[in-house]
Amino acid sequence: MIELKVINCFKLYMRPLNVNALILLLLVLVGCSSIGIEKQRINYKSGATKVSTLEVPPDLTVPVTKNQHIIPEKNGESVANFSDYLKGGQGIQSGLGSIVLPEIQNVQLERSGNQRWLAVTGKVEHIWPLVKEFWQEQGFNIKSDNSVAGIIETDWAERQANVQEKGLTKLIGKVFEQLHSSGEQDMYRTRLERSKDGSSIEIYISHRGMEEVQQADKKGFQWRPRPNDPELEASMLQLLMIKLGGEGKADVKADQKHKPLNLTGKSSSLQGGLNMPKLQKIDGNDVITLNEPFDKSWRKVGLALDQAGIQVQDKDRDKGIYYINADNAGGVKEKNWFSRIMFWRNENGSNSVKNSEERVPRYRVMVRENNAGSEVGVRNQQDGKDQATQRIVEALYNQLVK
């Protein structure tokens, strides 16, 4: 009854009668309650239904909840993680039915320059659902999953402040939800593709962020893009690595072990002059030249497309082509750079072409290897250039030089 009166009191004074007095009152009430701030995993708030997990030390057994998700041991008990199961026996009790999770025997975190990705030994049809499940466990809704292009994209989720709710703090949080808001939103794009030799699946994660800022007239707040965070990308790769059966350590190749891990996204001064991309005019076309072989260039261009918010609809590695559908290349509600280059659309977002059933232009981002390295260009449906191709090249270049 007392809690109900407190809630009604706060709802009454939520009207902007005296903002300063309201803030002061909240500080006093929160100060009287027990507040604990603890280090924990990145906490996101979204409409996704979080998968409740019980964290248990690896040497203990996990209480059985649902038989269809059990990873059995020989004695019928379920082990604490997938890695222990792979190291242990393979005995399966007939009463448990078929095993849902497949064996993924090798997961490595690899790095080339500032790029990091997972190399997973296994079949993509087994890995794909595990990656989707991973993002749902992190508190995200899956916005889109394109199995043809190998891309899983989450919806925007607001990061919550790491405040432990106790007593009156929890009660106030029910009324003033924004008290626990960090003012930041994140979304992630995961790209899966087969390695060159087909022996493993490469998994890349790219981050995009938004931050809440005050409007110029100071009458409200709005969301604006913020730079991608390489540290968040690295953290999510580590968590996904554990999800897929890894040990949570950055297992890099032997020739990379003594190289410092640069999380700033900037190249070292030694590499800067040699490997920096260059934007040039070749035969009247805007072309990005990379002083690297095709494999590395293909990887870099794919990640740059993800970070720029350009949605890949399909790809052909053998031909070196990423297919992008400009109509779905956005991702934020506010008008971004890609929205501005959609000159074929009206202000209300509808297509401005005479024939409304005409397909939205599909562009090709082409990566070609030459004697000096690789070249990256963009073509429209007519195998030519236009205003959009020029701006796509510029956006790619800006991402590649970061």
pLDDT tens-place string over residues 7-65: 454 444 444 445 566 566 666 555 554 444 344 457 776 555 555 554 444 444 444 44
Question: Average pLDDT, stretch 293-317?
Answer: 90
pLDDT tens-place string over residues 148-169: 889 999 999 988 755 455 555 5
Question: Average pLDDT, stretch 244-264?
Answer: 46
pTM of the model: 0.59
Percent of the chain clearing pLDDT 70 (strictly above): 53
pLDDT tens-place string over residues 169-220: 555 555 555 555 678 999 999 999 988 888 889 999 999 999 988 888 888 8
Between 245 and 75, name the one with better pLDDT: 245
Cα→Cα distances 157→136, 173, 196, 239, 398, Å: 11, 18, 34, 18, 26
